[in-house]
A and B are shown apart, each in its own frame.
Chain A
Amino acid sequence: MLAYITKRLLSLIPVLFVVTIAIFLIIHITPGAPAAVILGIEASEAEIEALNEELGLNRPIYEQYFNWVGNLLKGDLGQSISMHQPVGQAIAEHIGPTLSLAILAQIIALILAIPFGIIAAYKRGTAVDYSLMGVSLLGMAIPSFLLGLLLMLVVGVKLQWLPVAGYESLSNGLWAHLQYLILPGISLGTIQAALITRMTRSSMLEVLNLNYIKTARSRGLSETRVLLKHAFRNAFLPILTVIGQTFGVLVTGAVVVESIFNIPGLGQLILNSIARRDFAVIQGVVLIVTVIYVGLNLIIDLLYGFVDPRVRLDRK
C-alpha cells in the first residue's frame, strides 16, 4: 500500500510541473508586453517600467518562473493589482460560496440519481426505464449555465418562488443561505444527476444478474430488501468513484453557474479579473481549482486502492 501511495504521489510531480508552466505562461501569451496590457493604453513609459520592475517581468523568463513557483510553495500566490490585496486572501474570501454550491449540487444529484438509477435497473426494458434514460440523455445535453437561465426564468421570474439572484452567507441562517443556492444547485447538479443515474443503472444491472441475488430472492426476501440491502451495496463502489471524480467537475461548473446568479464566488472573481486584466488573480484561481481537482482525484484513487486491492496491484 505504501509503495502504491508513493508511486501515485510521484506521478503527480510531472503533472503539477506542466500545470504550473501552463498557468505561468498565460500572462506571457498576451499580444504585446504584459505590463502594457495590464496598465492599459493610457500608461506612460515610466509606469510600465515601474510595473515591470515590481512584477519582475524584465528578468529572464526561467528566473520569473522559478520565482513564481518558489513563492507558490511558500503559499504566496502574488498580489492583486486591482484589489490591492494578496491573491490568496481574495481567493479565501470567494471560495466559500463556490464550495457551498458544489456540495449542494452534489447532494441534489445524489438524491435524484440513486433512486432513479435503481428504479431504471429494476424496471429494465419497460417504459419507466426508457423514460428515465431519455430524461437523463436530455439532462446531459443541457449545459448547466443554460439550465440555470431557464430555471431563473420559470421559477424566479414567472412563478417567483425563489429569488432570481444574489447570495446570503451561511452565518445569516440556513434557509437564507439555501434559498439563493437551490436554483444554481439544481442547474449544476442536473448533468451530474444524469451521469450518476446511468452509472447506477448499469452498475445495478451487473449485480442483479449475479447468483447471490437469485438466492436472496429464492429465500423469500422482499424486493426492497434485495434491491437495497443486497444489490445496491455491491453496486455502490463504482458509483462512489464517479461521484468522487466528478466533484472536481462540479467545482469548475460552479465557477460558471455562479456568474448567472450573481453569487460572489471564484467565478465572479475570475470574470471581474478578466475585465481588469488582473492576471495574478486569474492565475491564482485556475491554479487553486486545478489543485482541488487533482487532489480529489488522488484521494479517490488512494481510497479505491485501499478498498479494492486489485487496483493497486494492477498498476505496479
Chain B
Amino acid sequence: MITLQKKEDIAQISERLKKEQRTLRFRRLKSNYGLLIGATIIILLIVLAIIGPLFTPYGPYGMKVLDRLLPPSADHWLGTDEFGRDLFTRIIYGARVSISIGLIVALLSSFLGLIIGVYATYYKILDHILMRICDGLIAIPGILLAIALMAALGASSFNVIVALTVVFTPNIARIVRSTALVVREQTYIEAMHAQGASNSRIIWLHIVPNTLSPLLVQATFVFAEAIISEAALSFLGAGIPAPEASWGNILQAGKLVIYKAWWMVVFPGVAIIISVLSLNLFGDGLRDYLDPRVKLKQKKS
C-alpha cells in the first residue's frame, strides 16, 4: 500500500515537473519580445507577399505612360513608377522575389554548410582541403565575390541564388564545424564508436541534431544578409534583370528619378529595412531562446 502511494506520488511529481518545465519554457518564449515581434512581422510580410496581389487591381508589368510618376494617392497607394506601373503592386511582387531569394539562399547555404562542416570534422584530409577552400572564399569580400560571379554568370534570379550561396556557405560551414568538433569529443560519441555504430549513423543521428541550433540562428542572419545583398546586386545592375520587380530594381529606377519621385526610393527602402530588422530581431531572440546561457552571462557582466 505504502509503495503504491509512493509510486503515485512520483508519477504526480514528475507530471508536475514536466508541466513546470513547459510553463517555464513558455514564459521564456513569452518574455522574448524580439523573437515574437520579429516572427510576427516576418510572417505578416510573407502573407502580404502571397495574398498582396488580391488587394490591387494592377499588374506588375502593365505600363501606362499617362500615369507615370504619380505621387501616392487613393488610386495608387504608394504612387507610380517611371512607366506608370503601380508602386504598391511592384513592391508586393518585389517582396515575392526578394524574400524567396533570401529564403532559398539561407536554406541552400545552410544545407551545404551543414554537410561540409560535419563531414570535415570526420575526415582529416577532407577537413584540411575544405577548410582551406572556405578560408580562401571568406577572405574575398562577399559583395565583390558576388559581383564578380554575377559578371561571369550573367544577370538572372537563378545566378543571384548561385552567387550568394557561394558567398554564404563557407561561413556556415565554419560555424557548423566548430560546433561539431565539440560534439565529436563527447564521451557518448566515443561509446557509440565502441559499440560499432557506422560513421554516417553517428553523423546524421547524433552530431547533426546537435549542430542545428547555432545553424538555425545563423541561417536567420544569412536570410537577412541575402535580402540586402540581392538588393545591392540588383541596385548595381548585376542582379535580377528588369522588368522583373525586386526591391533593388525599384531602387535602381528610383535613383534615376530621385528629383521627381521620392516615393520610389522611400517605400522599397522601408520594405528592406522592415524585413532585415525583423529578421535580425528574430535571430537575436532565437539565439537567446535556444541558448539561455548567453543571455544570463550578458546580464551578469
Contacts and interface: CB of A to CB of B under 8 A. Distances in A.
Interface string B120-159: 0000000000001101110111111101111111100000
Nearest to A142: B273
B53 to A, nearest CB: 25
A275 B151 CA distance: 8
Contacts of A146: 231, 251, 269, 272-273
Interface residues of B, number: 44
Nearest to B166: A22
B148 A150 contact: no
Nearest to B145: A286
B135 A286 contact: no
Contacts of B132: 14-15, 17-18
Interface stretch (A81-89, A109-117, A237-245, A277-285): A277-285
Interface of B: 132-133, 135-137, 139-145, 147-154, 224, 228, 231-232, 235-238, 251, 254-255, 258-259, 262, 265-266, 269, 272-273, 276-277, 280-281, 301
Contact of A290 (B140, B143, B262): B140
Contact of B238 (A142, A145, A164, A271): A271
A205 B301 contact: yes
The contact size tier of chain A is 35 or more
Interface residues of A, dominant DSSP = helix
B285 to A, nearest CB: 12
A14 B269 contact: no
A121 to B, nearest CB: 11
B209 to A, nearest CB: 31
A270 B144 contact: yes
Interface of A: 14-19, 21-23, 26-27, 29-31, 137-138, 140-143, 145-146, 149-150, 152-153, 157-158, 164, 202, 205-206, 209, 248-249, 251-253, 255-256, 259-260, 270-271, 273-275, 277, 279, 282-283, 285-286, 289-290, 293-294
Contacts, number: 141
A293 B144 CA distance: 12
A294 B140 CA distance: 8
Contact of A143 (B150, B151, B237, B276): B276
A60 B301 CA distance: 59
Given A149-B269, A153-B265, A271-B238, A248 B152 contact: no
Contact of A138 (B139, B147, B153, B277): B277
A293 B142 CA distance: 11
A256 B143 contact: yes
B300 to A, nearest CB: 9
A138 B145 CA distance: 26
